[in-house]
């Protein structure tokens, strides 16, 4: 087999065999195939696409390029949730204890990552004492005992994807459905879940800005998951404005606590119930989505989800008193309101820009080595569709400095107020199975 022939075949729009895909992935990962030929291959895929079978084959091969986490010592069906990423997406903090409260085992592997705020682990580390430095045996034991544990990314997951992603980044081949879908799914599958619920975001703050692109990506990932034997479904949800009200690490923990108490923002609560019901059904802990939703709502209102969260924090060294006293979380030194310059209805809160503003305050990492400030961020007082009067606060800024004029300017540019009627955007567009 020669890589030249494989590139030529894909260039001409032909379907590759399993052996040809393996030859490419293995050869590129072990350094036998040079970057220039891999680049040509990726560009051929970009233009010619791949069949569902090729995409599944590509994904399995990338999974096999590295470690695969074995969760078989955890009893029950392990369901993982993955979000394609957005601004103020606090769902994992809520969903993990919430679905665990119905007996669904949640063995969550999470990252710190780059972006507007930290990853799930950074957020959880704003709880004093909480840590994810546990061995894999401890991790398994914790999930078996408490139904929920979070561990840092361990092992060498899908190294083929890591190498390919860096190459895609510099060859204008990131934005390709078969390449994105196989990249995301290879990492999810390698981390060991039996079933996967995908939250594919669409709108200004999402990776897929347009609804039809989001649907296409969701369909591609669902097909891959099911073909490789992981029961997979996707929810397409809105990310035109931030989710919930809080954007920032400790601020999102506080928001998660409110939501687990049944007092969370409406959109965040609704999305958690939607994703949670799907997880509970995939885990075989309820027969129907309606039944799952009802039992999840019950546990938000009767304190069981909150109790599960306390237990989870304690079991990983965290000070569970934060749940009843959020003043124990890191607090920003300065807070500022952002008064509206006119009356009217909020027509737009551009998610991306709000995320950038949170990052300017120090809530997120610009590079892998940047320090993040767990206390800072933004809490929205209004969402799209709400009425506001001139002088009333649009949002609160939590900062470590009083020099926030540039952040305020960015925020004013990101929130539109109109005199016309405005409808809030739908939260959930579609479910893909
Ligand atoms: N996220 C990933 O992990 N991979 C992609 O290709 C795009 C986004
Ligand atoms: Ca939020």
Is residue 111 in a domain? yes
Question: Do both 123 and 254 map to the same domain?
Answer: yes
How many angstroms separate the CA atoms of 304 and 316, rounded?
19
Which DSSP string do the residues of 193-243 spell out, in sequence order? Answer: -SEEEEEEEESTTSSB-SHHHHHHHHHHHHHHHHHTT-EEEEEEEE-SS-S
Last residue of a domain, one of 324, 345, 379: 324
Number of alpha carbons in the 13 Å side-chain half-sphere of residue 206: 23
Q: Do residues 304 and 350 both lie within one domain?
A: no
- Cα 293 off chain centre by: 21
Residue nearest to atom 7 of ligand 1 (CA): 180
pLDDT tens readout for residues 257-316: 999 999 999 999 999 999 999 999 999 999 999 999 999 999 999 999 999 999 999 999
- Provide the CATH number for the domain around residue 248: 3.40.1030.10
d(CA 186, CA 178): 12
Instruction: Report pLDDT digits (tens) over 409-426.
Output: 999 999 999 999 999 999
Q: What is the pTM of this model?
A: 0.95
State which residues form the domain around 351: 331-418
The ligand placed nearest to the CA atom of residue 164 is 1
> Per the domain annotation, does 26 fall within a domain?
yes
394 lines ligand 1 (CB under 6 A): no
147: annotated active-site residue: no
Looking at ligand 1, which residue's alpha carbon is closest to its atom 2? Answer: 184
Give per-residue burial for 339-358: e unless 16+ CB within 10 Å, then b: ebeeebbbbbbbbbbbbbbb
Q: What string of pLDDT tens digits covers the 433 residues of the chain?
A: 999 999 999 999 999 999 999 999 999 999 999 999 999 999 999 999 999 999 999 999 999 999 999 999 999 999 999 999 899 999 999 999 999 999 999 999 887 877 888 899 999 999 999 999 999 899 999 999 999 999 988 779 999 999 999 999 999 999 999 999 999 999 999 999 999 999 999 999 998 999 999 999 999 999 999 999 999 999 999 999 999 999 999 999 999 999 999 999 999 999 999 999 999 999 999 999 999 999 999 999 999 999 999 999 999 999 999 999 999 999 999 999 999 999 999 999 999 999 999 999 999 988 888 889 999 999 999 999 999 999 999 999 999 999 999 999 999 999 999 999 999 999 999 999 9
**Exposed (0-12), middle (13-18) or buried (19+): which is 368, by Cβ within 10 Å?**
exposed
Q: Apex CA 159: angle with CA 42 and CA 11, to 5°?
A: 15
CA of 183 to the centre of ligand 1 (A): 5
Q: Are residues 104 and 182 in the same domain?
A: yes
DSSP string covering 13-36, please? Answer: TPPPPHHHHHHHHHHHHTTSS-HH
Among candidate residues 266, 291, 265, the one with its CA nearest the CA of residue 276: 291
Among the listed residues 82, 112, 304, 396, the single catalytic one is 82
Share of the chain above pLDDT 70, in %: 100
> At residue 292, what are phi and psi to the nearest 5 degrees?
-60, -45
- The protein residue whose alpha carbon is closest to atom 6 in ligand 1 is 180
Query: In terms of domains, do 320 and 358 share one?
Result: no
Question: Residue 65: inside a domain, yes or no?
Answer: no
In a domain, 56, yes or no: no
Query: Is-catalytic flag, 187?
Result: yes
Q: Is the CB of 184 under 6 A from ligand 1?
A: yes
Evaluate the CA torsion angle 417, 421, 427, 430 in order and state its sign. negative
Catalytic hit among 187, 188, 215, 310: 187
- Residue 232 maps to a domain: yes
Q: Which of 114, 165, 218 to mutate to test the pocket of ligand 1 (most atoms within 8 A of CB)?
A: 165
180 lines ligand 1 (CB under 6 A): yes
ipTM of the complex in this document: 0.91
Residues 24 and 173 reside in one and the same domain: no
How many independent structural domains does the chain possess? 3
Measured between its terminal Cα atoms, the distance across the chain in Å is: 37
CATH of the domain at 338: 3.90.1170.30
């Amino acid at each position: 087999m020669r890589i030249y022939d494989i590139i030529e075949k894909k260039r001409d729009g032909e379907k590759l065999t399993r052996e040809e895909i393996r030859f490419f992935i293995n050869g590129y990962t072990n350094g036998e195939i040079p970057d220039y030929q891999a680049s040509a291959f990726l560009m051929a895929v970009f233009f010619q696409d791949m069949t569902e079978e090729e995409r599944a084959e590509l994904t399995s091969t990338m999974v096999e390029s590295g470690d695969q986490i074995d969760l078989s010592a955890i009893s029950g069906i392990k369901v993982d949730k993955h979000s394609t990423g957005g601004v103020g997406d606090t769902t994992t903090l809520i969903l993990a204890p919430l679905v665990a409260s119905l007996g669904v085992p949640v063995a969550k592997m999470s990252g710190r990552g780059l972006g507007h705020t930290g990853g799930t682990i950074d957020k959880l580390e704003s709880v004093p004492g909480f840590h994810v430095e546990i061995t894999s045996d401890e991790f398994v034991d914790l999930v078996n005992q408490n139904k929920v544990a979070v561990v840092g990314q361990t092992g060498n997951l899908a190294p083929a994807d890591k190498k390919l992603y860096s190459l895609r980044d510099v060859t204008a081949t990131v934005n390709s459905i078969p390449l994105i879908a196989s990249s995301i799914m290879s990492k999810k599958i390698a981390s060991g879940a039996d079933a996967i619920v995908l939250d594919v975001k669409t709108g200004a703050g999402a990776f897929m800005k347009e609804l039809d692109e989001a649907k296409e990506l969701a369909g591609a990932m669902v097909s891959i998951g099911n073909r490789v034997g992981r029961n997979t479904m996707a929810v397409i949800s809105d990310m035109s404005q931030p989710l919930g009200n809080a954007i920032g690490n400790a601020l999102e923990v506080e928001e998660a606590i409110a939501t687990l108490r049944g007092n969370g923002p409406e959109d965040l609560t609704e999305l958690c119930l939607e994703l949670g019901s799907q997880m509970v059904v995939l885990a075989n802990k309820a027969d129907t989505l309606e039944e799952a939703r009802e039992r999840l709502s019950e546990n938000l209102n009767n304190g069981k989800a909150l109790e599960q969260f306390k237990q989870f924090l304690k079991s990983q060294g965290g000070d569970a008193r934060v749940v009843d006293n959020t003043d124990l979380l890191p607090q920003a030194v300065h807070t500022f309101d952002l008064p509206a310059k006119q009356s009217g209805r909020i027509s737009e809160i551009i998610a991306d820009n709000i995320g950038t503003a949170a990052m300017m305050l120090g809530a997120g990492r610009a590079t892998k080595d940047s320090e993040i400030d767990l206390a800072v961020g933004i809490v929205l007082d209004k969402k799209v569709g709400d009425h506001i009067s001139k002088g009333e606060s649009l949002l609160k800024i939590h900062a470590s400095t009083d020099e926030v004029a540039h952040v305020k300017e960015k925020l004013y540019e990101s929130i539109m107020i109109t005199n016309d009627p405005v409808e809030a955007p739908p939260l959930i567009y579609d479910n893909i199975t």
